[in-house]
Structure 1
Amino acid sequence: MTGPDAFRTALAALDLPPEWQVEVAIRPRRRKTGIQVSPGGGVAVLIPPTAAPEQVARFVAGHRRWITEKVDIATRLDPDHAVKEFGDGEEFDLLGRHYRLQLVEASPAGAAQLPVITSDGVVSARRQRPELVRRAVIGLYQQVGLAWLRREGRQYELDGHITGLSYAVRDLGRRRWGIYEGPPKHTTTLHWAVFGLPLPLIEYVLVHERVTPPSPADAHTAAHGNGGCTSGCRTGNSDGPNSPRSAATPGLATRTRGHHRHAARSCLGSRVRDGRLRSCPTRGPTKV
């Protein structure tokens, strides 16, 4: 089997752009040569063990235009900030405030359990494997976010004459920031990562899910008569001045129009991938 250096030499002769960050990977189970473009623009050439360097070079040269297009897309959609590694000293945003992660062996004095937020802007979490720290921090986001939803949502319920509404915070995948589920559930659910956004944008997501009519009959009217959405709403849709969302919370609906709404649509392109925070659009690898 030919070693990686021979393939690197063959590809170097093609004078590929250095920003492509081309890597070669020999895959014993592959039968054909492939190319993978990852978020950020990195190019990986996936090589079967029986391939010759000259064959691989011809394959890459024949796909040069395709690679150029995909690298451009991947670079434009790359996150502005690094993916969180959940290491000691890393910074997080929660409900509009900045916090620093501190990994500890035991709970600070006066703290019943970890993780815990201290008065000096520190999130203390137990020192353990990064994956377990990540789960603990996500659990904290869910706990704090649910308390915020119940507290802030109460005023919206009173303003909109809404009764019996429940709230939840959980992982909604990579495509939704929030959903409203109509009766009998009558529940507004936000993605836990929403609470890492600035407060006006958190409010925007909450307002966007304000279908929540006060009765099942009104829910049917909102869903079928006024163009409302009672299940699986996606952030970024425009709401007219007479939509159920605007009617339910008129004050906040007005405040979120204009620059807040524009900022929200830009910022809410964010995604969460594999449970890790990213701050701008990203996609999985593109392959050929």
Structure 2
Amino acid sequence: MNARTIGGPPLLRTGGTCCCRGRSIPYTVQYRPRRKHLAVVVHPDLRVEVLVPERTRGAAIDRLLVEHEGWIAKTLARLEASPTRTFSRVYLEEETFLLLGERYRLSVSRGPPSVTATDGRLLVEIREPVDRSAVRSAVIAWYREQAAAVILPLVDRYAAVTGGGAQKVRFKLLRKQWGSCSSKKNLNFNIRLVMAPLPQIEYIVVHELCHLGCMDHSPRFWKRVAAVLPGYPDARQHLREQGWEYQL
């Protein structure tokens, strides 16, 4: 258990470990000024978090973890046993979003419409903060902008190497595909891709550009990909393993 004292009562336990049915589970603690109740969250990537109001004492955190011991163990077991981890977005405070592999926590407030990622927070200002559909629309529009800002320069950069130029490049919210190439030489990219670390994004960009000269997945196609990105198998594997979390 981690706590520190600065001339007074214990402040800001950053995390620790708890025992859940004989298993030692690491957890982190997030303090939020506007939060009224304590809560335990088990994320699909198996991280355990305790969300608490500001200046919550360590004893209260300990009690919460003991009370939820069975639920934590059961939830972790279910996630670990799942061959494909999935989850649904709720667009509520403290939900975790990714940008280029970095995590940002959602914070919604009233104000002129804007979305900003800074200091580990995804700050969303809208006129009706309680309207989750409006929050979702704002976040998706922002991801579309980020996808264009990140991917278009990569398309230009790697097109010079692959020798293939696209007619059009579009950004869409797709359910399954990360990218596609049409017979008309139009490229489509899933805006969720911008959640991934840069090597995974580069792999998809090169993959689709190489399709401009080879529309199948023959050995010739993969040779073209390897000539541009020799380490592409690692990026492809990581995308397969981590892509379940890139959800909107």
What's the TM-score bracket when you normalise by the shorter of the two chains?
0.5 to 0.7
Of the three residues 88, 94, 97, the one matched with 1:89 is: 94
**With structure 1 as the length reference, what TM-score do the two structures score?**
0.50
> Are residues 192 and 163 of structure 1, via their aligned partners in 2, closer, same or farther at CA, if it must alter by over 3 Å?
closer
Q: Partners in 1 of 2:195 and 2:135 — Cα distance?
A: 17
**With structure 2 as the length reference, what TM-score do the two structures score?**
0.57
* Residue of structure 2 in register with 1:250 after alignment: 227
Going by fraction, where is strand more abundant, 1 or 2?
A: 2
> Are residues 84 and 95 of structure 1, via their aligned partners in 2, closer, same or farther at CA, if it must alter by over 3 Å?
same
Q: Partners in 2 of 1:255 and 1:78 — Cα distance?
A: 25
Deviation at 1:103, TM superposition (A): 0.8
Deviation at 1:167, TM superposition (A): 1.6
* Residue of structure 2 in register with 1:141 after alignment: 143
Aligned 1:22-61 pairs, distance under 5 A: none
Unaligned segments of structure 2, at least 5 residues = 1-43, 45-77
Q: Partners in 1 of 2:194 and 2:142 — Cα distance?
A: 10
Structure number with greater Rg is: 1
> Is the contact between residue 101 and residue 122 of structure 1 (CA under 8 Å) also seen in structure 2?
yes
* Residue of structure 2 in register with 1:104 after alignment: 109
Number of residue pairs matched?
A: 169
Deviation at 1:271, TM superposition (A): 8.0
Instruction: Work out the percentage of aligned pairs sharing the same amino acid.
Output: 21
Deviation at 1:118, TM superposition (A): 4.5
The answer to whether the aligner puts 1:76 opposite 2:77 as a matched pair is: no
* Residue of structure 2 in register with 1:122 after alignment: 121
Deviation at 1:170, TM superposition (A): 0.7
Q: Partners in 1 of 2:245 and 2:239 — Cα distance?
A: 13
Q: Partners in 2 of 1:79 and 1:182 — Cα distance?
A: 33
Letter in 1 for 2:240: R
Task: Give the secondary-structure state (helix, strand or coil) at the position aligned to 2:209.
Answer: coil
The answer to whether the aligner puts 1:264 opposite 2:239 as a matched pair is: yes
Q: Partners in 1 of 2:238 and 2:172 — Cα distance?
A: 24
* Residue of structure 2 in register with 1:281 after alignment: none
Deviation at 1:246, TM superposition (A): 4.5
Letter in 2 for 1:79: R
Deviation at 1:182, TM superposition (A): 2.3
Deviation at 1:93, TM superposition (A): 0.4
Unaligned segments of structure 1, at least 5 residues = 1-39, 41-71, 108-113, 214-218, 230-238, 278-288
> Are residues 181 and 123 of structure 1, via their aligned partners in 2, closer, same or farther at CA, if it must alter by over 3 Å?
same
> Is the contact between residue 100 and residue 122 of structure 1 (CA under 8 Å) also seen in structure 2?
yes
Deviation at 1:143, TM superposition (A): 0.9
Letter in 2 for 1:106: G
> Are residues 164 and 84 of structure 1, via their aligned partners in 2, closer, same or farther at CA, if it must alter by over 3 Å?
closer
Note the alpha carbon deviations across 1:229-278, whole angstroms, 9 max, x for none: 6xxxxxxxxx63x31x65267332x1212x3332223334x388xxx64x
Q: Partners in 2 of 1:251 and 1:95 — Cα distance?
A: 21
* Residue of structure 2 in register with 1:157 after alignment: 159
* Residue of structure 1 in register with 2:191 after alignment: 192
**Which structure would you say has the larger RCO, counting Cα contacts within 8 Å and 6 or more residues apart?**
1
Q: Partners in 2 of 1:189 and 1:99 — Cα distance?
A: 26
Note the alpha carbon deviations across 1:45-83, whole angstroms, 9 max, x for none: xxxxxxxxxxxxxxxxxxxxxxxxxxx9xx624636x53
